[in-house]
Amino acid sequence: SAIMGKGLGSDVALITDGRFSGGSHGFVVGHITPEAAEGGPIALVEDGDTITIDAVSNRIELDVSDQELERRR
């Protein structure tokens, strides 16, 4: 995948609401609900934002303040 090709496999996860190839390696999360289409925080992600994934707690969080999210809306 492009992530592995750039040497980012240890630092970057692939998160998708669609399909991914069986050749994907590293941390891969598939079939995320269409949160962006429903106005969720994923629709407000910008380049450089940090997203925390906690696989044990089944949580994905956008590490941006509520005030900043309101500004982006």
Answer yes or no: is pLDDT of 26 > 80. Answer: no
Residues 14/1, Cβ–Cβ less than 8 Å:
yes
Threshold 0.95, pTM exceeds: no
Token pair of 35 as six digits? 């949160």
Query: Which of the residues 21, 24, 57, 65 is marked catalytic?
Result: 21
What's the pLDDT band for 23 if we cut at 50, 70, 90?
low
CATH number at residue 67: 3.50.30.80
Tell me the C-alpha distance between 17 and 32, whole Å. Answer: 4
Token pair of 43 as six digits? 């629709």
Whole domain around residue 14: which residue ranges?
2-72
Tell me the C-alpha distance between 62 and 50, whole Å. Answer: 6
Report the pLDDT value the prediction gives residue 41, as an integer from 0 to 100: 82
What's the pLDDT band for 68 if we cut at 50, 70, 90?
very high
**Residue 21 is a catalytic residue:** yes
User: What's the domain count of the chain?
Assistant: 1
Residues 13/29, Cβ–Cβ less than 8 Å:
yes
27-66 pLDDT per residue, tens = 777 667 777 777 788 889 999 999 898 888 988 889 999 9
